[in-house]
Chain A
Amino acid sequence: MIGYYAAVRYLCRRLGQGLLVLFAVSALSFALAETAPGSIVDELRLNPRISPATIAAMRDRYGLDESLPEKYLHWLQSIWRRDFGYSVIYQGPVAPLLWPRVRNTLLLTVTATALAWLVALVVGAWAASRKGQWPDRLTAAGTTILLSVPDLLLGLLLLLLAVRTGYFPTGGLASVGFDELGTLEKLGDLGAHLFLPVTGLMLIELPTLARHVRASLIEVLQAPFIQAARATGISEQRLLVRHALRAAANPLIALFGLSVAGLLSASLVIEAVMSWPGLGLLLLEAVGARDLHLVVAAVTCSTILLIAGNLLADALLYLADPRVRPQQA
């Protein structure tokens, strides 16, 4: 019971810290976006068909003549109204733009991460169990090469593959006429569109994960309890999966928490290259159009995702390892 109480308290404290950080990030991105010269009505002013009165009304409506703290305060109020400000390029509140983008980014990143871990565990275990032999060297060479290929280039190379073979759709979320398809066809279509970005993101994540899996497994495999287990005569496979992997879980879960930031970052590039309508692509559009509220909202959202990922890693660590429980309270 005490453990449960401590866990809740710990989680609450982390949540509180997260909220503070979120607040600070939104203020920072707001200040950054606001120092930008020029505003959304500047181009309209050049248009002779729009009267100065209209422009003045627009300045008033968007609050362009307010001071920075005033503007920020107004934006905070818009969170309370749950519209997260006004997007100029989409001519409407920001919130309804945000949710589908966040959903798409989550769909992409969660699928890619799950696959990357699956492959990394298999490859890492394979390399670790044959340390110094050819599978190990092959893995080392492969991961080194993958590490050195920039995310951007990997995305372009996959696109090249898609354009050359014609097997996969090269961008977007769904085919034309998606709504008329049956449920199964819809799933198939989504899968086809997911294939390229997921593969890209997975290949970006894979080398780091596989290397860490290998390293922590090798460390565990030298532990006395593994020697003892081996002495009882259980199979190598069972030893690896049931005993070594479980003991190596701790640093790997920590790695998961650390890798969330890189994952979201890589996702932005992949989304933009493959025109996957996620949060990253939204941010790029917003920066290109100087759409203030949209930029702030997208950056804040990415921070929420990052903090949520870290909290998830904390929770997993808590579940996986009884030893960390009392210390964390």
Chain B
Amino acid sequence: MNATPRMPRGRVLLGLLGLVYLSTIVAGFIAPVDPATQNRDFPFAPPTRLHFVDAERGVYLRPFVYRLTPDAGTFGEYAEDRSRIYPVRFLVRGAPYRVIGLFASDLHLFGTDSPSGLFLMGSDSFGRDQFSRFLHGGQISLFAGLLGAALSLGVGVVLGGLAGFYGTWIDQAIMRTAEIFLAVPWFYLLFAVRMALPLEMPPAQAFLMVLAVIGLAGWSRPALLVRGVVLSAKQRDYVVAARGLGATDAHLLRRHVLPQVMGIALTQAALLAPQYTLAEVTLSFFGLGVSEPVPSWGNMLATLQRYDVLSSYWWMFVPGIALILVFLLYYSLADVFHQRAAAF
């Protein structure tokens, strides 16, 4: 549309998305505290202000914070105690954590000695650090979307491929089943599938459960699309010619059919990942997904069901705003993939 020099948009978008996912993987390092640590003296503390200038001590290059004190006489408001400054320290030792459950460490990107802590994005009703919960919650919500998309696409490609390539009764059986799944509105289907699993389960299981629910509920649309692509690919002259020359099914699939499927699969992945992230968020929002104390963007947003929280503490909206940005990235990426697949 605009005349600026063409950037490889796909790569930029992929890079940005990769950065987002990476930062949630290393959430333990970036987050200053453990996401479950409660600080009950500071419920709903606003984002801690970073200062560079102190009235008496002058200007600092390193940001510092003041200690928060509950404001006397008011309820739920805080004041800064300016008698002492607490510099923000980088690469400090703190609460132990693991990265992808493997690498144990206690090194954190930043931290402070302030007794009231450093709430970069405020704190929630239990005084837990919203920023740490946001990063750890993103790990769950974003990867539920990505892995869910991979799962349902995998199933969709296999089943849709089988149906399109072999036809006959296989096609009939798979497509009739897919139609049943497509006949139910998405969220109704999601909750119906959710019904098949126990209401309460430990977090790790709950995450796998959400993945399974998403995969089982979502395989039919990709299967339908892949079947269409395979059907049309099968009838192209060069595929018919290759078959005539004695190519095996496996060769035809690998050489001629799969490359065409890849284009549509990538576009689908970029559309499904945000949709499934939203599915996890919605399930957890309504208490049917990953549950407290483990954070997910869904159960973090669930606090907003309280009207006092909704109207008073804007920083509780942070996961929602992050969702918008991630969606924008994904939709732009889907656009790029779509154009590339159309050109193919």
Contact = CB atoms under 8 A, between A and B. Distances in A.
Contact of B188 (A148, A160, A268): A268
A21 B183 contact: yes
Interface string B38-77: 0000000000000000000000000000000000000000
Given A25-B180, A153-B324, A148 B192 contact: no
Nearest to A260: B185
Interface string B165-194: 000000000000001111111111101111
A161 to B, nearest CB: 10
A290 B285 contact: no
B336 to A, nearest CB: 14
Contact of B301 (A28, A38, A156, A290): A156
A14 to B, nearest CB: 13
Given A153-B320, A302-B185, A287 B195 contact: yes
Interface stretch (A29-37, A117-125, A172-180, A315-323): A29-37
Contact of B191 (A37, A261, A264, A283): A283
Contact of A32 (B195, B278, B285, B288): B195
B307 interface: yes
B304 interface: yes
Nearest to B281: A152
B327 interface: yes
Contact-size category for A: 35 or more
A36 B195 contact: yes
Contact-size category for B: 35 or more
A33 B191 CA distance: 10
Contacts of A159: 307, 310
Main secondary structure of the interface of A (DSSP, over half): helix
Could you say which of B189, B197, B331 has the most chain A C-beta atoms within 10 Å of its C-beta?
B189
A156 B303 CA distance: 11
Interface string A139-170: 00000110111111100100110011000001
Contacts of B325: 148
Contact of B323 (A21, A150, A290, A302): A150
Given A163-B307, A164-B311, A269 B320 contact: no
Contact of B327 (A22, A150, A163): A150
Contacts of A147: 327, 331
Interface of B: 179-189, 191-199, 278, 281-282, 285-288, 301, 304-305, 307, 310-311, 317, 320, 323-325, 327-328, 331
The 6 closest A-B pairs by CB, nearest first: A264-B185, A148-B327, A153-B320, A32-B196, A302-B188, A265-B186
